Structure 1
Amino acid sequence: MDEMIFFDTLRQGLWVAVAISMPILTVALVAGLIVGLFQALTSIQEMTLTFVPKLAAILAVFWVSMSFMTQTLTTYFTDRLIPLMEGM
């Protein structure tokens, strides 16, 4: 395998990983900011208050974006990795 093909496949795989994780990480960040702002405004320092809303938001976004994640991974494997495994 040529070095250029290897690094291009690796680069594309990393971009797929970023694209797949971006919705979940964005929602976790927004939920954390909202809960942190709520805690700062009300002076409530409860540990479960930060965990439960973040977990619920992450699970909801994971459920909604599961088809996007599956389609992205399937496309990457069928278009990029399987032809490399077969020997192009």
Structure 2
Amino acid sequence: MTEVEIADIFRQFMWTAVWMGAPIIGTALVVGIVVGLFQALTSIQELTLTFAPKLLMMLLVFWLTAGHMARLLANIFDSVVIATIAGV
């Protein structure tokens, strides 16, 4: 295996990690902005008001996208790891 092949495998794994984490990170961003705007408009500065909705929405999105994440992980495993072990 050359350095180029190792870098390509690493790049594929990193992009898979980005696509797996994007829905959860995006949800945290959107909920954080909405709750921040709500707090700014109402002058409520409660710490749990930012934490609880963000956590609940992130768990919901994780539950909804867990199948997609598993498919991404299985695809990268089949196309990269098994192929590398087999020497294809």
Query: Structure 2-normalised TM-score?
Result: 0.96
**Whole-angstrom distance in 2 between the partners of 1:85 and 1:15:** 21
Q: How many angstroms apart in 2 are the aligned matches of 1:44 and 1:85?
A: 56
Residue 85 of structure 1 aligns to which amino acid in structure 2? Answer: I
Structure 1 consecutive aligned stretches of length 4 or more whose deviation exceeds 6 Å? none
Name stretches of at least 5 consecutive residues in structure 2 with no aligned partner.
none
**Which residue of structure 2 lines up, in the alignment, with residue 52 of structure 1?**
52
Distance between the aligned counterparts of 2:52 and 2:43, measured in 1?
18
**Where in structure 1 are there 5+ consecutive unaligned residues?**
none
Number of the residue aligned with 1:39: 39
Aligned-CA RMSD value:
0.8
| Percent of paired sites with the same residue | 48
- Count residues with an aligned counterpart: 88
- For 1:69, the equivalent position in structure 2 comes to 69
